[in-house]
Structure 1
Amino acid sequence: MFKRVKNWSANHLRSLVALALIGATFSLTSCFDDDDVNQIPQGAYVLIYQGSPDAPLLDVYANQNKVNDYPLDYTEGISYSPFYTGNRLFKFTTTNSLSSLLEKNFTLKIDSVYSLFLVNKVDQLDAVMVQDNWEDPNADEAQLRLVNLSPDAGNVELELSEMENSLVEDLEFGMASDFESLAPKVYNLTVKSKSSGETLVTASNIELLGNRVYTLILRGLEESSSQDDKLDLQLITNYINY
């Protein structure tokens, strides 16, 4: 269960930026837009992430309003942006086409924060929205969750070095774990199959900083041999408590 978000201040909402993505080698890159929010309207904030490994370049609409300025490719996203509240129809189309690959309704609540993940292969395309609820981090802690966007990896668990128990024990495809508090330090990350115990993917020497909230995304295909859509990990920064 996700906790309810209460009393988001304008300062909090200005900090809702996806700052950095981490690729296969976990070297920092910058792929999400990073524009500051000058005036905070009463609305909801939504981050959109393209996790469908074989989808074409996409345009995204909320009702009739186009959301993205540039075509959205696999592993790319749109940082937290303000949306009108209420029932919103999200439509995903091939770039410069009006024909929908997927249309799905979501209800957005005032002063709430969400992540919208496009999931699965294009012939079974779907979108999953989760409410993003975290406690304000401080200099002595980071917060981390796992999102499972791999269609063929099955249920997974996440282990971190120097931790006796798994941070995430049994996460289904299309699901997000709760944000968990961690000591700021350098970790080795291991994602394993819950059913077989087999190691699926690892990442070494990943530094999690204090005052930050992160999402670790498992994406791609376990059975793929292509570098373009192989099983991999990607880290985004949801929030910095300045």
Structure 2
Amino acid sequence: MKQTRRQVLRAIGVSSIPILGGISSAQDMTTSQNGNASRVRVIHAIPDAPEVDVYVDGNRVLQNVAFKDVSDYLDLDAGKHTIQVAPAGQGQGSAVIDEQVTLDANTDYTIAAGGTLDSPQAFVFVDENEVPSGDQARLRAVHLSPDAPAVDITADGDVLVEGLEFGNASDYVEVPAGSYTIGIRPAGMNDAVATFDVTLEGGTVVSAFAVGLLQTNDEAQAFDLLPTIDAPTEMMTTTTTTM
């Protein structure tokens, strides 16, 4: 049976998917004070994990992050940082992810807490921060569904991305602004496991995060697509149809 859900997504920094609490204050050592900054956001993509807190260099910068939440961008100094993800309220000593990352100045990043609770992983992606012309949009796909095979991604039947594997992001593809039916199907196959009707506004840069599980009886953990604006611009709407 088909299930249809409608979401309204706004630019990051406005009200996108839920904005997270607990962002560090200007006094925290992790935030940039000298202009030599990078910007980092975090997505919780572990479908069977509880809410989590996120620490940077020992400071809690995000709290009570739920599955499918994407944070605002945080300003961090360029250089090396230790990123930890722990169950909410349990402290950094209970971290299920503990990774060191190196950030370049004037660069935007998405850090994804992915995998499953038995095998959590951190993935780091560089985000596009150059806005396209007003009649164009840029779109990339990020495969964070831990039980899904490599996938092909189509737009109105035309293949945009081939063989995208778990834990990877595609290149950005520039397309005319407008409405598209995005299909996700196992690589080399003709039948989509899900389709998403997406309207891309001109001048937007969008990451579409494929999250959740294909094989689950828990609707909260089910496969989904989260189109999220990288460069703050206009609103876009999506309608999701899962087969």
Match 2:166 to one of 173, 177, 198: 173
Task: Call closer, same or farther: CA 1:119–1:95 in 2, change over 3 Å.
Answer: same
Match 1:48 to one of 18, 27, 42: 42
Q: Which runs of 5+ in 1 are unaligned?
A: 1-23
Check whether the contact 1:53–1:74 (CA below 8 A) recurs between aligned residues. yes
Check whether the contact 2:129–2:230 (CA below 8 A) recurs between aligned residues. no
Between Structure 1 and Structure 2, the one with more strand by share is: 2
| Superposed counterparts of 1:146-157, under 5 Å | 146-157=141-152
Could you say which residue in structure 2 is the equivalent of 1:224?
A: 216
Q: Does 1:191 align with 2:180?
A: no
Could you say which residue in structure 2 is the equivalent of 1:117?
A: 112
Q: Which runs of 5+ in 2 are unaligned?
A: 10-15, 27-32, 235-243
* Paired letter, 1:67: V
**Offset of 1:32 from its aligned partner?**
4.3
Could you say which residue in structure 2 is the equivalent of 1:182?
A: 175
Task: Call closer, same or farther: CA 1:71–1:241 in 2, change over 3 Å.
Answer: closer
- How high is the TM-score relative to the length of structure 2? 0.81
Match 1:31 to one of 13, 17, 41: 17
Could you say which residue in structure 2 is the equivalent of 1:214?
A: 206
Could you say which residue in structure 1 is the equivalent of 2:240?
A: none
Could you say which residue in structure 2 is the equivalent of 1:158?
A: 153
Q: Does 1:130 align with 2:116?
A: no
Residues 82-116 of structure 1 show CA distances to partners (whole Å, capped at 9, x for unaligned) of 01221111001111112111101110111111111
- How high is the TM-score relative to the length of structure 1? 0.82
Instruction: State, as a whole percentage, how many aligned pairs show the same letter.
Output: 25
Q: Note the aligned Cα RMSD (angstroms).
A: 2.2
How many residues are aligned here?
Answer: 213
**Offset of 1:195 from its aligned partner?**
4.6
